[in-house]
Amino acid sequence: MTLPKIRAVFDRKKKASTTSTGKVEIEVIFSRTQRKTLSTGVELYSNQWEDGVVVRHALAKKLNNQISSQIKTYNNIIRELIQDGDDVSYDNFSAALNVKSGKYGSDFIEFCYMTMEKRKLKELTIRAHVRTFESLRASGIIKTFDDLTPQNLKRYDNWLRDEDPSREQPTIYGYHKRLKPYINEAVKLGIIEESPYLRFKAERGKHKPKEALNEEELMALRSLILNNKTLDIARDLFVFCCYTGLAHADMDAFNFDNDVVCVNGMHYIDKRRVKTGTQYYTPILPPAMAILEKYNYVLPTFAQQTYNRLLKCLGDMINLRKNLSSHIARYTFATTVLLAHEVPIESVSKMLGHTRIQITQLYAKILNTSIEKQAERLSGIL
């Protein structure tokens, strides 16, 4: 293994003279093309540096000790990397130096935000990660790196369950899944010795089957007379998704001028999904087109949590026993609007923008009405 060379350099930018100062810096040279330059905070005139040491300065001894101590610190970091079996690379050295200097402090949540900024995440993913960080902050259970213990993860897991009893196990698992990479990064940087997830396992679980609205329930929602403008908008957005299959994020990103094509007088949304990047192609059926016309082809938007709260109110107003949420609209589109009217599952998959047809099959519950229609058709033939 070729170890980096460490040396003190003076006036690298050629600014020093007998009347102006230049900086003393320390270079850690990893290769001909890769080096890290670090400040010492020492500035000297051109005649105050000879043979790699400070001379003719009232504090020469103190400054030389300061520079030597800094070089010793960097050599110790290299020694520790070797002892830990890590490569003495630019990245590993920089990460270890950040830990040594206390750059990350002790606040784990702030560390998560700093680390997230360096990752190339989609906007939707960033929102989910921020939601995880803020839930951690709200719980008050894990604040510092010292709080990262299996016992505290268990307490956080229980808090997620108690804070919102409607959270299903896969949703709680998602919080842990989003948290793990940041804990692993803290381990990688040497801030903590091991991940507490080695001794605490979050169960993946299974979502309870979601129930789509049937035709009667959908019509009850559509015909509901609302005097509250906010509820009226929420109802319209939900109905729009029931007749297009758009997820909340895709509805938020919808732009009629950019995303819609017209073929033989029929309008279609031709776009990629925000969540997966998968192409989808879905018709804008008449009830959805009526809503677009109502809002002059520019749909209002709500934050998802606000939207789901409004949907719950709407569900209560029609005495709906099902838990109305934004995702129920996609189920309703897939089952009540498409599959119940015998649209082939391959077409449904394309309209929903699913990456695999197996995902669509999870939506495709066997409907009694479909069986009855097929039975009637068969009885007329046989």
Do 374 and 227 have their domain in common? yes
- At residue 119, the pLDDT reads 87
Do 220 and 358 have their domain in common? yes
What tens digit of pLDDT does each residue of 164-182 get? 887 889 999 999 999 999 9
In sequence order, the 6+-apart residues with CB closer than 8 A to the CB of 241 are 247, 248, 251, 326, 329, 330, 333
Q: If you search the block for the tokens 């009347």, which residue do you land on?
A: 19
The mean pLDDT of 251-259, rounded to a whole number, is 95
- At residue 17, the pLDDT reads 95
Per-residue confidence band for 227, with pLDDT thresholds at 50, 70 and 90? very high
**DSSP structural state of residue 107:** B
Do 256 and 354 have their domain in common? yes
- Range of 265's domain? 215-381
Do 115 and 161 have their domain in common? yes
Higher pLDDT, 93 or 189: 93
Per-residue confidence band for 288, with pLDDT thresholds at 50, 70 and 90? very high
CATH of the domain at 369: 1.10.443.10
- At residue 1, the pLDDT reads 62
- At residue 368, the pLDDT reads 52
Do 219 and 250 have their domain in common? yes
**DSSP structural state of residue 243:** T
- At residue 321, the pLDDT reads 87
Residue 286 has pLDDT above 80, yes or no: yes
Do 177 and 257 have their domain in common? no
What tens digit of pLDDT does each residue of 187-220 get? 888 788 899 999 999 999 876 667 889 999 999 9
Nearest CA to 203 out of 162, 161, 165, 166 is that of 161
Do 253 and 293 have their domain in common? yes
The mean pLDDT of 59-63, rounded to a whole number, is 94
d(CA 110, CA 153) in angstroms, rounded, equals 18
What tens digit of pLDDT does each residue of 234-252 get? 999 999 999 999 999 999 9
Strands 260-263 and 53-54, by their bridges, are: unpaired
Residue 65: inside a domain: yes
Per-residue confidence band for 342, with pLDDT thresholds at 50, 70 and 90? confident
What tens digit of pLDDT does each residue of 121-130 get? 888 889 899 9
Looking only at Cα atoms, what is the longest distance across the chain?
Answer: 110
Q: What percent of the chain has pLDDT over 70?
A: 92
Domain C-terminal end among 57, 83, 100: 100
Do 227 and 313 have their domain in common? yes
- At residue 379, the pLDDT reads 64
Per-residue confidence band for 48, with pLDDT thresholds at 50, 70 and 90? very high
What are the Cα distances from residue 20, in Å, to 36, 43, 49, 58, 59? 25, 9, 13, 17, 18
Residue 382 has pLDDT above 60, yes or no: no
**Mean of pLDDT over the chain:** 89
**Which H or E element spans position 263?**
strand 260-263
The mean pLDDT of 293-306, rounded to a whole number, is 93
Per-residue confidence band for 104, with pLDDT thresholds at 50, 70 and 90? low
The mean pLDDT of 141-162, rounded to a whole number, is 94
Residue 121: inside a domain: yes
User: In the Cβ-directed half-sphere of 353, how many Cα atoms lie within 13 Å?
Assistant: 21
The mean pLDDT of 298-305, rounded to a whole number, is 91
Indicate the number of domains in the chain.
Answer: 3
Residue 375 has pLDDT above 70, yes or no: no
Do 139 and 280 have their domain in common? no
- At residue 8, the pLDDT reads 95
Domain C-terminal end among 100, 118, 149: 100
